[in-house]
Amino acid sequence: MRGILIFRGNGRTYRSHGGWGERGTSTVEFALVSVILFTLLFAIIEVGRVMYMEQALSAAAQEAARILIAEPHISHDELERRVEHRITVLDPTALTLQVYWGSHVVLVVAQYPYTPVVPILTSTPITLHGQARLHK
Protein backbone atom coordinates (compact mmCIF):
# COMPACT_ATOMS: atom_id res chain seq x y z
CA MET A 1 0.00 0.00 0.00
CA ARG A 2 1.34 3.40 -0.95
CA GLY A 3 1.23 6.20 1.49
CA ILE A 4 2.24 9.79 1.65
CA LEU A 5 5.03 10.60 4.06
CA ILE A 6 5.41 14.16 5.16
CA PHE A 7 8.71 15.42 6.53
CA ARG A 8 8.95 18.81 8.15
CA GLY A 9 12.14 20.64 8.91
CA ASN A 10 13.74 24.02 8.41
CA GLY A 11 10.38 25.55 7.67
CA ARG A 12 9.86 23.34 4.61
CA THR A 13 7.58 20.42 3.96
CA TYR A 14 8.77 17.39 1.99
CA ARG A 15 6.41 14.78 0.62
CA SER A 16 7.34 11.31 -0.52
CA HIS A 17 4.98 9.24 -2.61
CA GLY A 18 7.36 6.31 -2.99
CA GLY A 19 6.22 2.91 -1.89
CA TRP A 20 7.87 -0.35 -1.05
CA GLY A 21 7.84 -1.42 -4.74
CA GLU A 22 10.75 0.89 -5.61
CA ARG A 23 13.03 -0.40 -2.89
CA GLY A 24 15.30 -2.66 -5.01
CA THR A 25 15.38 -0.77 -8.28
CA SER A 26 18.87 0.63 -7.75
CA THR A 27 20.19 -2.86 -7.03
CA VAL A 28 18.65 -4.22 -10.23
CA GLU A 29 19.93 -1.27 -12.24
CA PHE A 30 23.45 -1.77 -10.86
CA ALA A 31 23.28 -5.49 -11.69
CA LEU A 32 22.33 -4.74 -15.30
CA VAL A 33 24.86 -1.97 -15.82
CA SER A 34 27.72 -3.75 -14.00
CA VAL A 35 27.64 -6.70 -16.41
CA ILE A 36 28.26 -4.36 -19.34
CA LEU A 37 30.79 -2.30 -17.40
CA PHE A 38 32.90 -5.25 -16.27
CA THR A 39 32.75 -6.91 -19.70
CA LEU A 40 34.07 -3.71 -21.25
CA LEU A 41 36.75 -3.37 -18.56
CA PHE A 42 38.05 -6.92 -19.05
CA ALA A 43 37.96 -6.51 -22.83
CA ILE A 44 40.17 -3.42 -22.53
CA ILE A 45 42.58 -5.33 -20.28
CA GLU A 46 42.78 -8.25 -22.72
CA VAL A 47 43.43 -5.96 -25.70
CA GLY A 48 46.20 -4.28 -23.71
CA ARG A 49 47.78 -7.64 -22.89
CA VAL A 50 47.66 -8.70 -26.55
CA MET A 51 49.32 -5.47 -27.66
CA TYR A 52 52.00 -5.84 -24.98
CA MET A 53 52.76 -9.43 -25.98
CA GLU A 54 52.90 -8.55 -29.69
CA GLN A 55 55.43 -5.85 -28.84
CA ALA A 56 57.46 -8.43 -26.90
CA LEU A 57 57.33 -10.75 -29.93
CA SER A 58 58.56 -7.98 -32.20
CA ALA A 59 61.42 -7.31 -29.77
CA ALA A 60 62.29 -11.03 -29.77
CA ALA A 61 62.32 -11.11 -33.56
CA GLN A 62 64.53 -7.99 -33.69
CA GLU A 63 66.95 -9.52 -31.21
CA ALA A 64 67.13 -12.74 -33.25
CA ALA A 65 67.74 -10.78 -36.46
CA ARG A 66 70.54 -8.79 -34.81
CA ILE A 67 72.19 -11.98 -33.58
CA LEU A 68 71.90 -13.56 -37.05
CA ILE A 69 73.46 -10.56 -38.76
CA ALA A 70 76.36 -10.55 -36.28
CA GLU A 71 76.80 -14.35 -36.24
CA PRO A 72 75.41 -15.86 -39.46
CA HIS A 73 76.58 -19.43 -38.69
CA ILE A 74 74.85 -19.75 -35.31
CA SER A 75 72.70 -22.86 -34.81
CA HIS A 76 68.93 -22.53 -34.52
CA ASP A 77 68.92 -24.01 -31.00
CA GLU A 78 71.56 -21.54 -29.83
CA LEU A 79 69.60 -18.68 -31.40
CA GLU A 80 66.41 -19.71 -29.60
CA ARG A 81 68.28 -20.09 -26.32
CA ARG A 82 69.77 -16.60 -26.56
CA VAL A 83 66.46 -15.00 -27.52
CA GLU A 84 64.54 -16.87 -24.81
CA HIS A 85 67.05 -15.58 -22.28
CA ARG A 86 66.00 -11.99 -23.08
CA ILE A 87 62.23 -12.54 -23.13
CA THR A 88 60.76 -12.34 -19.64
CA VAL A 89 57.09 -11.68 -20.43
CA LEU A 90 56.40 -14.78 -22.52
CA ASP A 91 56.73 -18.48 -21.80
CA PRO A 92 59.98 -19.30 -23.64
CA THR A 93 58.99 -22.90 -24.33
CA ALA A 94 55.99 -21.77 -26.41
CA LEU A 95 57.93 -19.22 -28.48
CA THR A 96 58.59 -20.25 -32.09
CA LEU A 97 61.17 -18.55 -34.29
CA GLN A 98 61.27 -18.94 -38.06
CA VAL A 99 64.26 -17.60 -39.99
CA TYR A 100 64.24 -16.71 -43.70
CA TRP A 101 67.47 -15.76 -45.45
CA GLY A 102 67.59 -13.70 -48.61
CA SER A 103 70.56 -12.50 -50.60
CA HIS A 104 70.98 -9.34 -48.52
CA VAL A 105 68.23 -9.61 -45.94
CA VAL A 106 67.26 -11.75 -42.97
CA LEU A 107 63.63 -12.08 -41.90
CA VAL A 108 62.72 -13.48 -38.49
CA VAL A 109 59.11 -14.33 -37.61
CA ALA A 110 58.24 -14.99 -33.97
CA GLN A 111 54.98 -16.77 -33.08
CA TYR A 112 53.36 -17.30 -29.71
CA PRO A 113 50.05 -18.95 -28.73
CA TYR A 114 48.05 -16.58 -26.54
CA THR A 115 45.16 -17.80 -24.39
CA PRO A 116 42.93 -15.04 -23.01
CA VAL A 117 42.64 -14.83 -19.23
CA VAL A 118 38.96 -13.96 -19.50
CA PRO A 119 37.48 -15.83 -22.47
CA ILE A 120 35.05 -13.13 -23.60
CA LEU A 121 35.03 -13.95 -27.30
CA THR A 122 37.00 -17.18 -27.53
CA SER A 123 38.69 -19.67 -25.23
CA THR A 124 40.93 -21.17 -27.90
CA PRO A 125 44.53 -19.91 -28.18
CA ILE A 126 45.21 -17.12 -30.65
CA THR A 127 48.56 -17.13 -32.46
CA LEU A 128 50.33 -13.80 -32.10
CA HIS A 129 53.01 -12.78 -34.62
CA GLY A 130 55.99 -10.47 -34.52
CA GLN A 131 58.59 -10.03 -37.23
CA ALA A 132 61.80 -8.20 -37.97
CA ARG A 133 63.66 -7.68 -41.24
CA LEU A 134 67.27 -6.53 -41.31
CA HIS A 135 69.50 -5.87 -44.28
CA LYS A 136 73.13 -6.99 -44.32
Cα angle: 59, vertex 65, 71; to 5 degrees: 135
Question: Mind giving me the DSSP string for 119-130?
Answer: -SS--S-EEEEE
Q: In this predicted model, what pLDDT tens digit does every residue of 16-58 receive, in sequence order?
A: 555 555 667 888 888 899 999 998 998 898 889 889 999 989 9
Contacts of 92 (CB under 8 A, 6+ apart): 84
Q: Using an 8 Å Cβ cutoff, are 60 and 130 in contact?
A: yes
Query: Residue 43: its pLDDT value, please?
Result: 86
Query: DSSP E strands: which ranges in the chain?
Result: 5-9, 12-16, 96-101, 105-114, 126-135
Give percent above pLDDT 90 in the chain.
23
Q: Which pLDDT does position 112 carry in this prediction? A: 92
